[in-house]
Structure 1
Amino acid sequence: MRTIRVPLVVTALAAALTLTACDSKSGGDDAKSPASDCVVAVVVGPGNAATTAGDTGNVPVTVTNRGSNQCTFQGFPGVELTAGGSSWNAAQEKDAQPAKVTLHKGEAATFTITYVRGNGGSLSAPAKAVKITIPGAGDAKSYPWSYGDVALKTKDTPDASVGPIQVAGD
């Protein structure tokens, strides 16, 4: 009997792509940009949540090209944490160099939101949603934020950052 071995990276990528196909159950959303004609599915998390005030958490975000055209992205996504009428914009990751990422139909890219857990006090953002703008993929879309309060550096500046878009697995 012949045994076929599939590298772990291929298995993980296939699993990630399979998970993005379940948008209605995974918090994903399709967005279409009239200018670029890119249709993308966005899945937020699951992440390694910061469970205690002062801890750092990382939330991966997967962007999958659902359209028939190739899509090219470059730069940092916009990330805005929101709660009611309040909002806080995450900073771009320091010293990160965004690269041009081209995705064909079904291919995925990722970026990470890194945050420090707040203590629920006056220097905490009680985030309930995250609004994400993917460069070249249309208007911002909101997704649930289930990772708790985010610490604030100042009343308007969250202790959160966003990394550049990169090919999934990089």
Structure 2
Amino acid sequence: MRAFPLTVTALAAALLLTACDDGGGGSGNKNSSACEIGGVSLQIGSASVAPAAGDTGEVPVSITNQSTPCTLDGFPGAVVSADGTEHKVPVLKGAKAQQLKLAKGDSASFTITYVRGKAADRSSLAAKTVKITLPGSAATRSFPWSYGPIALKGAEPDAGVSAFQQVGD
């Protein structure tokens, strides 16, 4: 009997198509794949470096999509490393994530804001690198941290990452 295997095959295909539905309705042309570190160019721009202990600095990070359309949905990740230990940079208080769809060539940015600590002080983190991650991906990209020590609030860096912002049109 061929009717049974054909029915099962049709049912399986329908279930697979339903599982792929993004639930958003519309034209079905939406691309919900997360942006990947390997598919974007990632740069740390000219920073507004905190000049002295207690001052606030800002480090802009820009992302330009180099491949197929992708989505930034959530917050960027930043981890600073010092003396073999890693410290996750929290999201800035009050920041609200927005979903950004990036076509090839589109750009977005976010900012790492930090309070400068005192050099060689126990209440400061002598950061050497910062690792960046994108939401929905575990891949990282490391950059040197050359903006001075970061003050600590308890055991955490006195720093934060902002939400993504669309760059350009």
TM-score by length of 1: 0.74
1:125 and 1:149 in contact (8 A); partners too: yes
Name the Cα RMSD after superposition.
1.7
Aligned-pair CA distance for 1:136: 3.5
Segments ≥4 residues shifted beyond 4 Å: 35-38
Paired amino acid for 1:61: V
Q: Percent identity?
A: 45
Larger-gyration structure (1/2): 2
The Cα offsets for residues 86-122 of structure 1, whole Å up to 9 and x where unpaired, read as 1111111111111110111111000000000000200
TM-score by length of 2: 0.74
Paired amino acid for 1:57: G
Q: C-alpha distance in 2, partners of 1:136/1:158?
A: 23
The Cα offsets for residues 51-98 of structure 1, whole Å up to 9 and x where unpaired, read as 10000001110011011x101111111111102311111111111111
How many residues of Structure 1 are paired with residues of Structure 2 in the alignment? 134
Q: 1:107 to 1:123 in 2, by over 3 A?
A: same
Q: C-alpha distance in 2, partners of 1:94/1:37?
A: 24
1:91 aligned partner: 90
Q: 1:169 to 1:95 in 2, by over 3 A?
A: farther
Long gaps (5+) in structure 1: 1-34
2:108 and 2:167 in contact (8 A); partners too: yes
Q: C-alpha distance in 1, partners of 2:153/2:168?
A: 31
